[in-house]
Structure 1
Amino acid sequence: MTTDVNAAFTQEKEDQIEAVREEARAFQERIDRGEIAPIGDDRYRVLTGWDAGETFSVQRNTEGRIEQILAQHGLDTTTGGAALYTTTPAWHGLGAVIPGGITDIDEVLKLARIDWEVSKRPVLYEWDGGIRDAVDRYVTVRTDGGAALGTVGDRYEVFQNRRVFEFLQDLAQRYDVVWESAGALREGRKVFVTMRIPHSLVIDRGGLDDEIVLYLAAINSHDGTSSAESVVTPWRIACGNTERFATRDAVHRWGIRHTKGGLTALEEARRTLGLTLDYAKAFEAEENTLVRTDLLIDDFHKLIDGLWTVDEDAKDRARSFAQQRHDELEGMFHDEARRLGRTAYAAERTITDYLDHRMGVVPRNLGEDLARAQRSLEGTNDDLKSKAHRKLLFLAR
């Protein structure tokens, strides 16, 4: 068979161009449906679905048409390479990939390019030809290159990366687990490590066989905007988006404030996180209880009414919105019931999916501060998820 390389090349390029055009059309359709919102400078944020909170930038041609859609990984690249170690190649193809993983924290920190420290330096400013010291204001600075990470107050205590993460090392040794990923985001303002919990949760073994793989993630910040925390989550962190998803979908979390007394909580954290396996087993047992519990549609309606109460004197608009939410949740429950049966487990999955991915978005202002993104970062739906879980367990028992 004769191959015309020129024709093959032309066809390949035409296919690539059409693929880009199709991607651009699908992207624009999501914008039109309100699933993606512009946040300025050809950057966009996803508002719905599993990737809610993810950000993209687009490259356009001279005619203004989209040529390329680029997801923003957010990884630190100030050292000349992406600050990431992982056992599994990530979607962006960056970082040091070590199949099988490693167990030594020092090696992880080095491979992830987060084996640097942070110091706190006084804020100085120029005035009338001289330099003055801003009282009780400091800049957190990376000691490997002098990059400023944030501005903090006098009481702020720097937590070095190794100090925050090393308390997980004994869990790695005790349970023979490896570090799944580690890295830095936003020029080092946030750093993270994750390890996989050894035993997956299996819901309705032999029946539904829904497997839930959980990870233990520790996240440290250096810019003064958040506490250090550890979360039990289904997400392996490998970029800025999955870091947000990990905190959004956490089933258990623990955090400490950046104060002098904060690090004393590490011992309590070690004890608490040491119970993670027991927690996972208990959670699995509870979910299996929900699988075995049939749920009447009236009970599902009562669950909705108990989670979102409507005052008797509520205005018509509020009542209309509550009815729309009620109808949407009922439709979602029927969809889940086709696969999972009309059970308490299907009801819980419905509530969780609605809170994480379907709840309506109401912008707080005309800028970037979209309500869904803020809700995801703050975890303000956690109480409703816990309340739903407790109510369904009560029905089951």
Structure 2
Amino acid sequence: MKILIKSATVVQPESKYHQQKVDILLDNGKIEKIDKSIAAKADQTIEKENLHLSLGWFDSSVCFGEPGYEERETLDNGLKTAAKSGFTSIALNPTGNPIADQSTSIKFLKSHSGEYGVEVHPVGALTVKSESVDLAELFDMKNSGTVSFSDYKKPIKNPNLLKIALQYAQNFDGLVQSFPQENAIARNGCAHEDYQSTQLGLKGIPALAEELQITRDLFILEYTGGKLHIPTISTEKSVQLIKEAKKKGLDVSCSVAIHQLVFTDEKLQNFDANYKVLPPLRTSKDAKGLIKGLKDGVIDMVTTDHCPIDIEEKKVEFENAAYGTIGLETAFGALQKIFSTEKAIELLTKGRERFGLNTSVLEEGAQADFTLFNPEEKYTFTKNDILSTSKNSMFLETELKGKVYGIIANLKFTEA
């Protein structure tokens, strides 16, 4: 099948076509020709207003429901949502039932790769049933296709367990994740501990809970060596701790959830449970520190931290509501409220290398792995824009900038 893309502005600094407007002819998923103008017969021609094209986007932290919680999100609809939101690759967290803590679970998730053009990269559970007691079958899962190991939002309570995991994973270049929260400090808090939580009468999770855990983990990493990823940091001081660790030469990376850059704990005034996330929304000072961390390159990547939650677990008292927000659909439009288009694309693709994904450059003969978008279109995000089964988005009624047209990857064109 031949596809002809007309008048697309390339956003890929590594490519010689960066910021040029070109036509691209694809033949069975491979780039046959790139030129200023191509007149050729094609099975499909793609022409869009203000069409831009970049390397396919990657999200390092995505949750669906299946297996076990299909009412939240199925793999089929989740991958369709990812594709229509511009993502050609996702790292899928072990949040199903059963937990993906062995090779058979990883193979099941990998079997869905390529649906709607989206490549599924499973994250295997670090410990058996994510109970933070015994290490899971890390080597077997690595051989089956897992890209990292994590218990998602469950902190590693036993420091010796993290030590052993980092040491063991070095034998096969495994990437270990550690969620940055000390539960003995966080306890049963549900909001950032500060003025807002006090005023609203909500139990707080102090920034100390995150920063203490990060300090512990970095000390362990310095002792063991290995590769550590700290997902979804949320405080200004966390950025500084990781910056100092990188200066020491430690092999550490980190991410931040996009909603932490856009919203603060002031949004809790109406007790809307869509704003209940973990780590909690912090202060404007923290948000500014996180944005600076991205600009300085200390924070390696952004994530949607996409987490579908069905309405029964959100339409309850704030303290009893489940944590999580969906974010795939709003990722690009939200980032462009803060960064330039080029920076936004960099942040949406930068995590690929850390998670061991292939990064192709736009050139003739290469396999197509594109995201197509219009960076200028402004709109207000409403329920009609939600593609996920669950509707728990904190971006509702937020003005966004930038619309996705679709993706071309894995021999498929999925249109938004």
Higher Cα Rg, which structure: 1
TM-score by length of 1: 0.27
TM-score by length of 2: 0.26
- Structure with bigger helix share is 1
* Higher RCO, Cα 8 Å, sep 6+: 2
